[in-house]
Structure 1
Amino acid sequence: MDQLFAGGTVNAAQFGDGPPLFLFHSLLSDRASFHAIVPRLAQSFRVCVPELPGFGQSRAVPGDFADVADRMAGFVKDAAGGKQAIVLGNGYGGFVALQMAIRHPDIATKLILADCGAAFSEPGREAFRNMAAASKAKGLAAITDVAMRRLFSPEFQAQHPDLMRDRREAFLKTDPEVFRAACDALAGLDLRPELAQVKAPVLVLVGEYDEATPPPMSHELAAGLPNARLLVIPGCAHVPQLQSPEVFLDAIGDFLPASYAPT
């Protein structure tokens, strides 16, 4: 059942019992992208899956990307009830988690950053500017094909028509203004100078075929963090937890506390 946290600003669902584990979704998807892995994780953790600010029933943040990170820090503190937490972010959610960890060093005991980075290349920045401009001029429907290609390979899309129909519908529910603000934030973001401030252990994951945040971004991210290791997930693109949930769970298994017992 959904609950409101952080002064009623963040809507989240919770599953299971145990140490708190937070899952932050990507920009081109929603929290349903974690549905395939939640049941396994909920056997060992209290899994909390929020809608990021401006998505679903969570209130938008009237500020910049740092304000988004601050809002989510307040949410994590509230939902964890003072307990230590692990935070896993995918794509945009990974950038939010990273910025949050920089600004709030004690917020997480461990971070799992899947398919994100610390900064985009100039072509990557231009892609966000183009998506923002096209969505403003023609609406989200005009960039849905581009968005899906950034999430999944054409082969995967062809093999999973029902899933792709669901993902397209989820994307079209995104608030256009929130989407454009996130695109603008990512186009200008550069967290590389601040990576040394993240002292918590970090597992950096990336899909082998990720076009949205290509593997070199994850290599750069892992190299810039004081305590990080990198894993490339074979055969996957930008949302490996949805594309290959068993492979994804295996990839994070050794990084999670010993109490995690996958079955």
Structure 2
Amino acid sequence: MPYLDLASHRLHYRIDGDSAGKPWLMFCNSLGTDLSMWDRQASALSQTYRVLRYDRRGHGLSSVPPAPYALSDLGHDVLALLDALNIDRAHFCGLSIGGLTGQWLAVHAGDRLGKVVLCATAARIGTRESWDSRMEAVRKDGLGPLVAATAERWFSPAFIAGNPDTVGNVLDRFAATLPEGYAGCCAALADSDLRGKLHRVANPVLAISGEDDPVCPPSDLEAIAAAVERGQHVSLAGRHIFNIESSTPFDAVLSDFLGPCSSNLSAGFYPPGHFRGA
């Protein structure tokens, strides 16, 4: 398994697809998950793209530097990984805190990104009080007591009932996340507010929401699409982790957005209204 060793921690990453001149596509996971949340997308898209996934600091097989973390720390981890792999530019797809990381990158290092897909996220997620409370609870009791409520936020009741193994695998990985790493990322969320900076984003952006997401509702993604220079919004069935719950339509929308001029990471976009729900 490949790792990138940095000054304070190491990042676990994975590459799918061969290098025959294909453009890079990078995925960034949500809070309390690991790179396996993108298994379906890596399988579906690795024939067209060279797919890069990684475990955020404090998650999965990456190490856990001392908390707290800042959003800039998470963004610089991405840049360090791109630098280490000699990737000048990559398309980027992130969900929840992964989408917030993508927003930070688009604001501060947009030249390193091609098209940007922001899923189930917001320019400001939650409140300082809510994240402080979450950090306190996790440091006291671990993530186990949060599993049931997390399942309800992440997946619809019908999907939970019909896909127990899939949901169980995601929740097992959530429960196994170390409290220090989880709390460190909660601190990053508590301090992050990009609402006044998104107008600086020039990359083509697709904001995707879950129709029934209680964490980041469609209005949050609509606001992102409206704030950036070239933004579109589409909503898919499901709650917060809709790339798993609605994987087939998600893969189709992602491929459709990335497809035109995909070998030119800075070119190509869609006219207003191209996507349903835009």
TM-score > 0.5 by shorter chain: yes
Q: Quick one: which of 212, 222, 227 aligns to 1:219?
A: 222
Give the length in aligned residue pairs: 255
Name the counterpart of 1:52: 56
**1:155 is the counterpart of 2:161:** no
Report the CA distance between 1:6 and its aligned residue: 6.2
Report the CA distance between 1:43 and its aligned residue: 0.5
Aligned-pair Cα RMSD in Å: 1.9
Report the CA distance between 1:83 and its aligned residue: 3.6
User: What is the percentage of aligned positions where both structures have the same residue?
Assistant: 26
Name the counterpart of 2:259: 257
Look up the SS of the partner of 2:167 in the other structure. Answer: helix
Kept in 2, the 8 Å contact 1:157–1:164? The answer is yes
Going from structure 1 to structure 2, the CA distance change for 1:72 and 1:82 (only over 3 Å counts) comes to: closer
Kept in 1, the 8 Å contact 2:107–2:200? The answer is yes
Name the counterpart of 2:273: none
CA distance in 2 between partners of 1:100 and 1:50 (Å): 16
Report the CA distance between 1:136 and its aligned residue: 2.1
Counterpart amino acid of 1:36?
R
CA distance in 2 between partners of 1:133 and 1:160 (Å): 32
Name the counterpart of 1:129: 132
Name the counterpart of 1:12: 13
Name the counterpart of 1:3: 2
CA distance in 1 between partners of 2:261 and 2:254 (Å): 13
Look up the SS of the partner of 2:113 in the other structure. Answer: coil
Kept in 2, the 8 Å contact 1:44–1:259? The answer is no
CA distance in 2 between partners of 1:21 and 1:121 (Å): 28
CA distance in 2 between partners of 1:61 and 1:121 (Å): 24
Cα deviations by residue, 1:175-195 (Å, 9 ceiling, x for unpaired): 201111222321332101111
Kept in 2, the 8 Å contact 1:61–1:67? The answer is no
Counterpart amino acid of 1:46?
R
Going from structure 1 to structure 2, the CA distance change for 1:28 and 1:54 (only over 3 Å counts) comes to: closer
Name the counterpart of 2:94: 89
Report the CA distance between 1:149 and its aligned residue: 1.6
Name the counterpart of 1:241: 243
Kept in 2, the 8 Å contact 1:54–1:175? The answer is yes
Report the CA distance between 1:172 and its aligned residue: 1.2
Mark the runs of 5 or more structure 1 residues left unpaired by the alignment: none
Look up the SS of the partner of 1:37 in the other structure. Answer: helix
Kept in 2, the 8 Å contact 1:6–1:74? The answer is no
Q: Quick one: which of 49, 54, 78 aligns to 1:72?
A: 78
TM-score of the aligned structures, taking structure 2 as reference length: 0.85
Report the CA distance between 1:174 and its aligned residue: 0.8
CA distance in 2 between partners of 1:185 and 1:82 (Å): 26
**1:175 is the counterpart of 2:178:** yes
Going from structure 1 to structure 2, the CA distance change for 1:78 and 1:257 (only over 3 Å counts) comes to: farther
Report the CA distance between 1:158 and its aligned residue: 1.9
**1:42 is the counterpart of 2:46:** yes
CA distance in 2 between partners of 1:153 and 1:129 (Å): 27
Going from structure 1 to structure 2, the CA distance change for 1:166 and 1:82 (only over 3 Å counts) comes to: closer
Q: Quick one: which of 124, 139, 142 aligns to 1:119?
A: 124
Mark the runs of 5 or more structure 2 residues left unpaired by the alignment: 263-278
TM-score of the aligned structures, taking structure 1 as reference length: 0.89
Counterpart amino acid of 1:215?
P
Structure 1 window deviating more from structure 2 (7-16 vs 20-29): it is 7-16
CA distance in 1 between partners of 2:60 and 2:138 (Å): 19
Kept in 2, the 8 Å contact 1:105–1:197? The answer is no
Report the CA distance between 1:106 and its aligned residue: 1.1
Report the CA distance between 1:59 and its aligned residue: 3.3
